[in-house]
Structure 1
Amino acid sequence: MQSGDSTGASVGVSGVQSRSEDEESLGVKDVKRPSAQSFGSGVPKRRSSSRSIKRKKFDDELVESSLVKSSSRVKGPPLIEPVRCLGSELSSSEKKKVTKSGTPLTMVLNPPPMAKRVKKSKQPLHITKDLGRWKPTDDLLLINAVLQTTDLTSVHLGVKFSCRFTLLEIKERWYALLYDPVISKLAWQAMRQLHPEAIAAIQSKALFSQAEQALLAKIGSTSQPKLEVFQELLNKHPAVFHPYRTPKSLLVHWQLLKQYYLLDDQSVQPLPKGDQVLNFSDAEQMVDDVKLKESRDEVLEHELMISDRHQKKEIRQLEQELPRWQVLVDSITGMSMPDFDNQTLAALRGRMVRYLMRSREITLGRATKDKQVDVDLSLEGPAWKISRKQGIIKLKNNGDFFIANEGRRPIYIDGRPVLSGNKWKLNNNSVVEIASLRFVFLINLELISLIKAEAAKMTQQ
């Protein structure tokens, strides 16, 4: 029984505690609700218009809209504090609100302080500069050449590097090797890794200094020095010559000095004056023609002979056709050309071409594959309306020219139509129109007068 009472008492106590907790929670909720309601009654709701035209906002609406925008931007729960507005003029609508609610309230938002960004200090990167186009062999060549000549211009002209460097690039590289610790360190490390044979080959290519050239220039140009002479020179002056010099290299350089007249006993000869100057014709006579003759090529000569034979055959055919030509067609240019020669009786001159009449009778028309005419009018322009044999121009014994129409379409002479089967006399400067093609008929009056005189003599006899 005691245990049952104790359990009942504990249940009762727990029930009382749960009720008290519920009441407390309800009390808190009731307390929170009126505070929220009272706060909501203090801030008027925003009035928005449904009209499409925007109107000017009042002061209270401006305050409310700014509060809404700022509250939407701030993250986290904003802190709201009532603040009394002092020393500010109020509008009529605001004065009414003040009389009703007492003191006006404004929303003051205190956003939480933003965490400052901590900039990470950039650690210096250890960058090794690349040697670029300069190879270790180039650096070694540059150092040896500068030590020999002490002149960067001579180095630029005399040293053959792995690639072409300008004088400015050579200067920059030399100054970098002297004063840039990073580049000089990398260059020395690369040069130390070269093979001994490569180093010896580079050292042997070092330029000759002025002291070395002065000693070599003392050897006479008329003498024929041998390698022993240069070996003795190396033994006498070991401090002057480069340690990698050999008697053979000295001999080669001495021969170059002799070739360019740089030895002490040599002098540059002036050019000969007067008749002693060798001109081109004298040099041509001195050339042996026998040495210039080439061996004969029989195949080439046979081909040339065949081509020559074909060309001569074509020339003969053209010469045989020349007397058959009765009309020569010449292109008319802007230059004034003589219309006649000693063999031309008359000329039919158009806009594009000129037809020369050299026989007593010629035919006019449109040339085709089947039928040829003396004067092809299609060369002047469109001739598809012209007959293949349009007409004939004939010179009579009395010196008069007549044209006979043998085509379908009429021929107009100075505007007068000549129908098919009729004839008409042609005078000098007569205009001949055939199917919209116009020509001027010109007569060689001098030649015609001679023909008339000969005809008169023949009749008298």
Structure 2
Amino acid sequence: MNLWDSSYPFGLALRDWKDGQRFIKRKKFDDELVESSLAKSSTRAKGATGVEPGRCSGSEPSSSEKKKVSKALSTPVPPSPAPAPGLTKRMKKSKQPLQVTKDLGRWKPADDLLLINAVLQTNDLTSVHLGVKFSCRFTLREVQERWYALLYDPVISKLACQAMRQLHPEAIAAIQSKALFSKAEEQLLSKVGSASQPSLETFQDLLHRHPDAFYLSRTAKALQSHWQLMKQYYLLEDQTVQPLPKGDQVLNFSDAEDLIDDSKLKDMRDEVLEHELTVADRRQKREIRQLEQELHKWQVLVDSITGMSSPDFDNQTLAVLRGRMVRYLMRSREITLGRATKDNQIDVDLSLEGPAWKISRKQGVIKLKNNGDFFIANEGRRPIYIDGRPVLCGSKWRLSNNSVVEIASLRFVFLINQDLITLIRAEAAKITPQ
């Protein structure tokens, strides 16, 4: 709605005051509003004929005028006190920015200035959409519609120009420094050789020799940065891009690696990596040394059953407790059987064979007597079955070769190294007095 429209009460009061008439402080009634609107409209239609403005007989207000009157009444504006004559221009200047800085949508004044500069440089809206970074992510269609609105819509164009005039000079300079490079500018930059190392003076001289070709905000530093970018993408005149090999002979990674000269590669020392490798090597050597010191403490070795293992015994194995999954090598005269936990360490962990939650932590003990006989003592709550005979808690039973030991549904075969046991018995017979 126009501010100076006669149907708007505040505009009517300000206009009457401007003409030197008495300022109306009271609110108008409905009939007065209709009469004033009809009077103004009739004077505009017929011109200044000198006839007293009034309500003509037989003339009725139109529906559009009634809507304007009802809309003005629905949003009444409180009367303001009459300003001093010297403040008239100040009021106009202070209220004008309020109309300019109203909500213009997603497009900011900085975006409009960026759009205008980019289009003037490239003359291509697709390049603008791909190369310019606006405050929002606009689509190509939105960029096109905004550019056409700035060209052909007088209201949007006027508001956008007034908003761009209110930008700070530093903001304008920053926006102008981001302007895209035109084809003429890139053509001049491409003539600078890629083998040379141009300095800032070279690009400054280029600016002085072609002032009309380059954008007004271009600096030698900006030209140097863009030239380096063009050199990186092989866009200079003296640069050529090697074509792809024809046929199936495509250069793969192995072929490219063979072409690299190792003597030209720099050997960069990484002190942090070397320190980490040294610490890891020291830690591994410490673990190896600790394992070597604990070798003599091992009483039972565990081997996985593969079906190809040799049944022969070595010179240190007294007997073997063989299960379905693993086998335990007995290499000391006394070993303990049970279920290993964090607080309880035993020699034979039966949980390696299968489910052992029903087995006690210390289920039993297997001992070798001096006469070469093996005995098993039950120290757990559940019985141990030897060849089908139960051995209760606190009892013991003699183990023979190929004896079947069953502990909580886990079955093992006890195999004795007969050769080694024979030697032990012979040594015991020599020590024992006749």
TM range (shorter): 0.5 to 0.7
- Counterparts of 1:305-316 in structure 2 under 5 Å? 308=282, 315-316=288-289
- Counterparts of 1:325-404 in structure 2 under 5 Å? 325-329=298-302, 338=309, 342-343=313-314, 344-349=317-322, 354-359=327-332, 361-364=333-336, 375=348, 380-384=356-360, 392=367, 402-403=374-375
Name the structure 2 match of 1:426. 400
SS in 1 for 2:300: coil
Name the structure 1 match of 2:118. 145
Q: 1:253-307 deviations in whole A, cap 9, x for unaligned?
A: 556555644344x131527999xx8637845432333x5364999xx79x949x9
Would you say 1:262 and 2:235 are equivalent positions? Answer: yes
SS in 2 for 1:279: helix
SS in 2 for 1:175: helix
Would you say 1:321 and 2:298 are equivalent positions? Answer: no
Flag the 1:184–1:437 CA change in 2: closer, same or farther, 3 A: same
Name the structure 1 match of 2:179. 206
Q: Please point out which of 159, 163, 167 is paired with 2:140.
A: 167
Q: Please point out which of 266, 269, 275 is paired with 1:292.
A: 269
Q: 1:408-441 deviations in whole A, cap 9, x for unaligned?
A: 997543223568777545242x32346x565322
Query: What is the identity, as a one-letter code, of the residue corresponding to 2:334?
Result: I
Q: 1:385-416 deviations in whole A, cap 9, x for unaligned?
A: 977x655356966xxx6436586997543223
SS in 2 for 1:403: strand
Flag the 1:284–1:395 CA change in 2: closer, same or farther, 3 A: farther
Larger radius of gyration: 1
Name the structure 2 match of 1:190. 163
Flag the 1:386–1:162 CA change in 2: closer, same or farther, 3 A: closer
Flag the 1:442–1:144 CA change in 2: closer, same or farther, 3 A: same
Name the structure 1 match of 2:60. none
Distance (Å, rounded) in 1 between the aligned partners of 2:222 and 2:147: 27
Query: What is the identity, as a one-letter code, of the residue corresponding to 1:439?
Result: R
Distance (Å, rounded) in 1 between the aligned partners of 2:365 and 2:122: 96
Query: What is the identity, as a one-letter code, of the residue corresponding to 1:392?
Result: K
Task: Return the offset for 1:154.
Answer: 1.3
Flag the 1:186–1:288 CA change in 2: closer, same or farther, 3 A: same
Kept in 2: contact 1:212–1:241 (CA 8 A) = yes
Kept in 2: contact 1:347–1:354 (CA 8 A) = yes
Kept in 1: contact 2:204–2:219 (CA 8 A) = no
Query: What is the identity, as a one-letter code, of the residue corresponding to 1:320?
Result: Q
Distance (Å, rounded) in 1 between the aligned partners of 2:350 and 2:232: 78
Flag the 1:383–1:176 CA change in 2: closer, same or farther, 3 A: same
TM-score (norm 1): 0.50
Distance (Å, rounded) in 1 between the aligned partners of 2:226 and 2:391: 101
Q: How many residue pairs end up in the alignment?
A: 314
Distance (Å, rounded) in 2 between the aligned partners of 1:248 and 1:329: 74
Task: Return the offset for 1:357.
Answer: 2.1
Flag the 1:190–1:218 CA change in 2: closer, same or farther, 3 A: same
Query: What is the identity, as a one-letter code, of the residue corresponding to 1:173?
Result: R
Distance (Å, rounded) in 2 between the aligned partners of 1:405 and 1:295: 57
Name the structure 1 match of 2:86. none
Name the structure 1 match of 2:209. 232
Flag the 1:158–1:281 CA change in 2: closer, same or farther, 3 A: same
Unaligned runs of 5+ in 1: 1-119
Q: 1:48-71 deviations in whole A, cap 9, x for unaligned?
A: xxxxxxxxxxxxxxxxxxxxxxxx
Q: Which shifted more, 376-385 or 182-191?
A: 376-385
SS in 2 for 1:231: helix
Distance (Å, rounded) in 1 between the aligned partners of 2:229 and 2:346: 82
Name the structure 1 match of 2:413. 441
Kept in 2: contact 1:176–1:183 (CA 8 A) = yes
Query: What is the identity, as a one-letter code, of the residue corresponding to 1:193?
Result: Q
Kept in 2: contact 1:367–1:373 (CA 8 A) = yes
Distance (Å, rounded) in 2 between the aligned partners of 1:412 and 1:191: 97
Name the structure 2 match of 1:83. none
Distance (Å, rounded) in 1 between the aligned partners of 2:343 and 2:256: 70
Flag the 1:281–1:346 CA change in 2: closer, same or farther, 3 A: farther
- Counterparts of 1:27-176 in structure 2 under 5 Å? 123=71, 130-176=103-149
RMSD: 5.4
Flag the 1:282–1:148 CA change in 2: closer, same or farther, 3 A: closer
Task: Return the offset for 1:378.
Answer: 8.8
Distance (Å, rounded) in 2 between the aligned partners of 1:286 and 1:222: 20
Flag the 1:164–1:425 CA change in 2: closer, same or farther, 3 A: closer
Distance (Å, rounded) in 1 between the aligned partners of 2:320 and 2:227: 85
SS in 1 for 2:210: helix
Kept in 2: contact 1:404–1:424 (CA 8 A) = yes
